[in-house]
Structure 1
Amino acid sequence: MKQSLYIYNNGDLKRKDNTLQFTTYEGDKRDIPIERISDIYILSEMSFNTAFINYISQYGIPLHFFNYYNFYTGSYYPKESLLAGQLLVKQVEHYTCYDERLVIAKEFIKAAADNIYRNLRYYNSRGKDVAECMKEVNSLRKKLDHTEFIEELMGIEGNIRKNYYKAWNTIVNQEIQFEKRVMHPPDNMINSLISFVNSLIYAKTLSEIYHTQLDPTISYLHEQGFRRYSLCLDVSEVFKPLIGDRLIFSLLNKNQITEKSFTKELNFLHLKKEASRLIVTEFEKRMKQTIMHKELGKKVSYQYLIRLEAYKLIKHLIGEKEYEGFRIWW
């Protein structure tokens, strides 16, 4: 089974014969069979050449980059081998027709809102009093069906998340004093944690979309100019509550991540290497976690759920089946 490769140490990546070789700046070498790699995450300073890029491109391996602060900075996306002209036309048509675009964008947000509500209900049933936040979120999600503009849709989504984040102070056992989402740059431990985990989900979504016929630059909820692979932002919204938020709650409530995991002098912007490794390890465990799929009748991993979401979108675009966003059912 192929796995994601995360590299934390500075060094050099190159092709050596029919495999990859990573060499640290101290001279330590490690050979990595390319057949075992699904995608590569660089969380350090790295040198490589065109021979390396050409080699991973042959195997369709995306390369994702994160800077010193663990902020996602970009991806190398190999030439698509599965793109289909007819589907590309359908993707564009569903974007240029505002009504068609709104249908898809609305379903992304409705699914995300339902998953947020499911998280709140889960913790409320376990002694965390978030009933008031549940009430507000439920009231807001009922308005989604009546929206006529994407800006209006995103405004409601913003208010849903605002109420959702209010509940985090109750859900999390640590004293986090989390009031609002701040991204550029994050202003506290929680915002830094959310940014890092969400960027992992975004990169993982890009890797999964690569294995479908979808063009990741054509989106419906987020504008194309916001980020290059904006369809990944659309799809990620659906999975943040299940994969990202639940991971964060677990890490904090088990005290695996605390203020000591960050460099306080940098306003908690910098996540220490040991903490970053821990988060990635737990993230990968979660991506490999399986559930019995109620329609397929077999176990699928959380990671494969993302690819299934892309397949559902394809069916909608070609008129085979109306898209229904993923919702937590267990």
Structure 2
Amino acid sequence: MKKPYYLFSSGRLKRRHNTLALERASGDRSPDTRIDGPDPHDEGLPSVEPDGKTQSFPVETVDSLYLFGELDLNTRLVTFLGQQGIPTFFFDYYGYYTATLYPREAQLSGRLHIEQARHYLSAKRRLVLARAFVEAALFNIERVVKYYQPRLEREARVSVQTTLTDLSRDRDDLPLTTNIQTLMAVEGRIRNRYYQLWPYFLGPEVAARFPFTKRERQPPSNELNALISFGNSLCYTTVLRQIYRTALDPTIAFLHEPGDRRFSLSLDLAEVFKPLLVDRMIFRLLKTGEIQPKHFSAQLGGCYLTEAGRKVVVAHWDERLSQTVQHRTLNKRVSYERLIRLECYKLVRHLCDPVGEPYQGLHMWW
């Protein structure tokens, strides 16, 4: 069975016959940038050198590669990864997702590409899909809130109920939105209400160690913001690799504006899954104590997960994607990761037949 590989070691990744080999390097990786910006004397050479210790892993088991270390690659390896259909995701020294090595598309459909572009160019059709993404995200947010509400003390429970009432009003506002900008404003308001409840979900003791008042991204201002940013990056790349297994064009989106150098469709679909995959993961890691303040460091005016912290999160993320639920329509158990692929197929059916197969985002039923 194929699976993603997460490589934290630095060194050299290469092709060895018809498999992959990681030649590890000893020593610590240097930061990609300094506080005052890029080093003008940086010649792009590795900051660590391989020491000869090599670990091989069969390419037949590799679904995708996540590179968190500083690794040398050559065209022979890149060609091999392309032939095997293995997408590779790159993260910088601070854990930010930076780039994707995307193989040549194996699933191609000219008809689907045209329909996807047609839905984007039609303001009405685009708005229908964008609303569906936000509505599904809101439903899943409400599901998370209602899960924690009975576990709260009386005053906190009352505050949560007030927020649920506000979220219900936001739901009523969704059909009234007439353009993407207004819809994005409603979506931002939903997220802000939701984030205000996080200290209640975490409990007084955890909330005291990890204070959180608002979402801040560039750079993350505290530990919780750092966790959210890193978790969202994992979600975006997981969605992207599922999109790659379909004929969807990842650059043509509906809620998020398509732009240069980004796969906007993965941002759209990730909105549906972040409450289930990212947010619940963060609550568990903090409440069980698997993530501690020692797993963060302050650098470049922000707060970032250390390598040890990223390893803890990635291990839990991989475990979470493999968890299964009984699917109500397929009548069999499917993994969380498979649910993302099924979401892509639902979008494909809508694009090809928006009347007979209208898209509705995943609504958590468990």
Do both share a fold (TM > 0.5)?
A: yes
In structure 2, which of residues 339, 343, 353 is the aligned counterpart of residue 305 of structure 1? Answer: 339
Secondary structure at the residue paired with 1:26? strand
Alignment of 1:33-72 (within 5 A): 33-72=58-97
Secondary structure at the residue paired with 2:365? coil
Other-structure match for 1:13: 13
Other-structure match for 1:162: 192
Other-structure match for 2:30: none
The separation in 1 between residues aligned to 2:259 and 2:333, in whole angstroms, is 37
Q: CA deviation at 1:177?
A: 2.3
Alignment of 1:237-256 (within 5 A): 237-256=271-290
The one-character-per-residue Cα deviations of 1:71-123 (angstroms, maximum 9, x if unpaired) are: 11111110101111011000000000110000000000000011001100000
Other-structure match for 1:76: 101
Confirm or deny that 1:324 pairs with 2:366. Answer: no
Q: CA deviation at 1:282?
A: 0.3
The separation in 2 between residues aligned to 1:326 and 1:94, in whole angstroms, is 20
* Preserved CA contact (<8 Å) 1:68 1:270: no
In structure 1, which of residues 75, 90, 98 is the aligned counterpart of residue 123 of structure 2? Answer: 98
The separation in 2 between residues aligned to 1:267 and 1:251, in whole angstroms, is 25
* Preserved CA contact (<8 Å) 2:326 2:334: yes
Structure (1 or 2) with the larger CA radius of gyration: 2
Q: CA deviation at 1:205?
A: 0.6
In structure 1, which of residues 255, 272, 278 is the aligned counterpart of residue 312 of structure 2? Answer: 278
Q: CA deviation at 1:267?
A: 5.5
Q: Residue type matched to 1:65 in 2? A: F
Other-structure match for 1:147: 177
Give the direction of change, closer, same or farther, for the CA distance of 1:181–1:227 in structure 2 (3 Å limit).
Answer: farther
* Preserved CA contact (<8 Å) 1:141 1:160: no
Q: CA deviation at 1:268?
A: 5.6
Q: CA deviation at 1:227?
A: 5.1
Confirm or deny that 1:172 pairs with 2:202. Answer: yes
* Preserved CA contact (<8 Å) 1:105 1:150: yes
Q: Which deviates more, 131-140 or 296-305?
A: 131-140
* Preserved CA contact (<8 Å) 2:91 2:98: yes
Q: CA deviation at 1:226?
A: 6.6
The separation in 1 between residues aligned to 2:220 and 2:339, in whole angstroms, is 29
CA RMSD across the alignment: 1.2
Alignment of 1:118-137 (within 5 A): 118-127=143-152, 129=157, 130-137=160-167
For structure 1, the residue ranges without an aligned partner over 5 or more in a row are none
In structure 2, which of residues 308, 315, 322 is the aligned counterpart of residue 288 of structure 1? Answer: 322
Q: Residue type matched to 1:270 in 2? A: Y
Q: TM-score, normalised by structure 2?
A: 0.88
Secondary structure at the residue paired with 1:329? coil
In structure 2, which of residues 113, 131, 137 is the aligned counterpart of residue 112 of structure 1? Answer: 137
